[in-house]
Amino acid sequence: MTISVTEEFALSEEERALLPTDEEVERYARDGWYLTRKLFTDEEVDELTAASERFYAGERSRALPVRPPRLAYWEPADGPVQRHNDYIHYESDGIARILRKPILGAVAARLARAAEIRIFQSTLIYKPPIAGEPSNLVPWHFDRHYWQSCSSEDMLTAFIPFHDCGVEMGTITMVDGSHRWEEIGADDSTTRHFAERDNNDLERMLERNAAYNHAEVRKVPMLIPKGHMSFHHCRTYHGSGANVSGRPRRAISFHLQPGANEYRAFHLTNGDVVTYNHDVLVRRTDDGRPDYADPEFCPVLWRNA
């Protein structure tokens, strides 16, 4: 039995058992994060590692037609810092094939309570096994700030490590329930990526927002076995620490949008309109806006029957 009309978006009976239960969907709404069952086989995860190594060695299935203004794009000349490479689902078919496994999109659709899920962005990440490497530290932030040109408040991210991932590797860590906080202190600077911001400012921002909401900052490291992944809501504060494991921490941050998401003009205080990298890549809607449903860059991952 399947729960989808087309073969493309069909699940087997075994896969259906991997979906979050109603209670888990409720818990995601309360906590702002969710740890999945084993969605990828060991072979699929190993293929992610192999395909990422081919990517780092220079293999591309296709290249971006233009370089967007704020592209994260590690190259060998950047050296042994933390590597981030955006649009990996576009540039590596070997990786995209596995990311597009329907069960992943079906889990996201359940959590976001959406009938359709599309890819928004995907970033290949590599934390080198250097205990003191400062670029390995990911300061507290939430992703909605980077997506102000999006209309949806329900975007979400799957964090997909390519191995067992625990605290010693600097796994992703969530601030429990923080997606429900009312925000204070947001200004134009919050739209800038964490790599361009001061870590102490971001730490203070978290503390200030927690205090304003009379909330305790409860940091929950995601202990993710191989083949499993964590999801977080776009307003959930998260970050991660040093990699002291002696092994590289390899992962993909897979950013997803509900079907209803679309471009909106978001103005900064000086009147400038916020842009996202897609805006120089994707096709236009009939009324001239960047189309965040462009199948080339933002393909559909899952659609309910």
Ligand X SMILES: O=C(O)CCC(=O)C(=O)O
Beta carbon of residue 82, minimum distance to ligand X (angstroms, whole number): 8
Of 3 and 167, which CB lies nearer to ligand X in the complex structure?
A: 167
Beta carbon of residue 254, minimum distance to ligand X (angstroms, whole number): 8
- Smaller CB distance to ligand X: residue 172 or 293? 172
Residues 3-16: b if buried by 16+ CB within 10 A, e if exposed = eeeeeebebeeebe
Count of residues touching ligand X (by CB under 6 A): 9
State which residue, 228 or 238, has the beta carbon closest to ligand X: 238
In the complex, what is the shortest distance from the CB of residue 29 to ligand X, in angstroms, rounded to a whole number? Answer: 19
Closest CA to 141 of 87, 85, 66, 191: 191
CB of 231 to ligand X, least distance (A): 10
Gap between the Cα atoms of 65 and 245, Å rounded = 38
Give yes or no for residue 34 binding ligand X (CB under 6 A).
no
Using CB under 6 A as the binding rule, whether residue 253 contacts ligand X is answered as yes
Does residue 275 belong to the site contacting ligand X (CB under 6 A)?
no
Return all residues near 104 (Cβ < 8 A) that are at least 6 apart.
39, 158, 229, 254, 301, 302
Q: Give the footprint of ligand X on residues 218-247 (CB under 6 A).
A: 238, 240
Interaction residues for ligand X, span 191-220 (CB under 6 A): none
Residue span 166-185 as binding mask against ligand X, x where in contact by CB under 6 A, dash where not: ------x-------------
Give the pair of three-digit tokens for residue 40: 């990828």
Exposed / middle / buried, residue 262 (Cβ in 10 Å: 0-12, 13-18, 19+): middle
DSSP letter (8 states) at residue 151: -
Binding mask 116-145 for ligand X (x = CB under 6 A): ---------x------------x----x--
Q: Judge contact between 188 and 269, C-beta under 8 A.
A: yes
Buried/exposed code over 114-137 (b: 16+ C-beta within 10 A; e: otherwise): bebbbbbbbbbbbbbbbeebebbb
Q: Looking at beta carbons only, is 112 or 138 nearer to ligand X?
A: 138
Which strand (E) or helix (H) includes residue 249? strand 249-258
Query: Quick one: which of 121, 157, 191, 245 contacts ligand X (CB under 6 A)?
Result: 157
Terminal CA-CA length for the chain:
13
Residues near ligand X (CB under 6 A): 125, 138, 143, 157, 159, 172, 238, 240, 253
